[in-house]
């Protein structure tokens, strides 16, 4: 009832998981990741313990060995599906024989895509093709979900989606261990909504290109007034963009966002 991707980006040393499903709040069950350890996607008749237990095993074991350790003691393993990437970027996937058709996986360099109750094998083929490209995970993971959905995705429909990226150098908050953690819990078009939230996340936490406020003063004042605020500082504070406004400058993405309101 789900399609997902687990991946490692060796250039940024980041691990990520993306998932979409006709299931409420799929992000609360499927994706797991810790920087320097690896990532896990647990799905189908999901065994929630595969997430935390898988990460614990990955501290010492590889991807294949971790899956074998998890499934060997699970009497319902033929109903499970799991994708894993270990601390070295090695990927592996397991699909139980009793997962609902179409169910399967494709493993490539630094990634694995897997799904069940899919429209067909083309879903995974298109997802894998995206992951074979280069680029930051926050873009490839979303594009991977879009590719799977374009091939039919979950044949029951759409409801929720999520992205989790574990990072050390690009933490969105100090000591969080995460670059990104976003979810769409219940939506008629969850992947499109996830893309909107992804862009808002990048705007809020990573708007690093600064431009002069004075260069856009008239446009800013007009827009601020139309939105019912007295100053740009008030708007930024209320909308959680205050760190994108400093030293007489404003983040380029923040400015574009403001002027588009």
What span, in angstroms and rounded, lies between the C-alpha atoms of 78 and 74? 9
CA separation (Å) from 14 to 57, 72, 108, 193? 18, 29, 17, 23
Whole-number pLDDT of residue 1? 64
Whole-number pLDDT of residue 161? 98
| The two three-digit tokens of residue 26, written as one number | 């799929």
Residue pLDDT, tens place only, 86-95: 999 999 999 9
**Exposed / middle / buried, residue 231 (Cβ in 10 Å: 0-12, 13-18, 19+):** exposed
Nearest to 141 by CA among 177, 111, 107: 111
Cis ω before 119 (30° cut-off from 0)? no
Neighbours of 223 (CB within 10 A): 18
Interval 235-250 mean pLDDT: 95
**Exposed / middle / buried, residue 75 (Cβ in 10 Å: 0-12, 13-18, 19+):** exposed
Whole-number pLDDT of residue 95? 98
The answer regarding whether domain 2-204 maps to CATH 1.10.10.1100 reads: no
What is the domain partition of the chain in residue ranges?
2-204, 210-260
Residue pLDDT, tens place only, 52-65: 999 999 999 999 99
Mean of pLDDT over the chain: 97
End-to-end CA distance of the chain: 37
| Residue 145, pLDDT above cutoff 90 | yes
Interval 196-211 mean pLDDT: 96
Whole-number pLDDT of residue 241? 96
CA triple 90-84-136, angle to 5 deg: 70
């Amino acid at each position: 009832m789900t399609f997902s991707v687990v991946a490692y980006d060796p250039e940024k040393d980041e691990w990520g998981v993306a998932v979409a499903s006709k299931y409420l709040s799929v992000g609360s069950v499927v994706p797991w990741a810790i920087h320097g350890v690896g990532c896990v996607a647990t799905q189908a008749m999901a065994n929630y313990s595969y997430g935390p237990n898988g990460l614990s095993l990955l501290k010492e074991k590889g991807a294949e060995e971790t899956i074998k350790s998890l499934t060997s003691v699970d009497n319902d393993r033929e109903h499970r599906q799991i994708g894993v990437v270990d601390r070295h970027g090695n990927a592996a996937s397991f699909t139980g024989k009793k997962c609902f058709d179409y169910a399967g996986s494709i493993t490539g360099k630094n990634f694995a895509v897997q799904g069940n109750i899919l429209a067909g094998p083309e879903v995974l083929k298109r997802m894998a093709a995206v992951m074979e490209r280069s680029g930051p995970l926050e873009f490839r993971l979303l594009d991977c979900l879009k590719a799977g959905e374009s091939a039919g995705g979950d044949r029951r429909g759409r409801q929720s989606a999520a992205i989790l990226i574990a990072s050390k150098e690009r933490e969105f908050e100090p000591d969080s261990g995460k670059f990104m953690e976003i979810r769409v819990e219940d939506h008629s078009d969850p992947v499109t909504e996830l893309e909107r939230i992804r862009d808002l996340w990048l705007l809020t936490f990573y708007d690093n290109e600064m431009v002069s406020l004075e260069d856009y003063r008239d446009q800013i004042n007009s827009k601020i007034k139309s939105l019912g605020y007295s100053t740009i500082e008030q708007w930024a504070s209320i909308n959680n963009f205050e760190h994108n406004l400093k030293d007489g400058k404003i983040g380029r993405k923040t400015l574009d966002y403001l002027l588009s309101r």
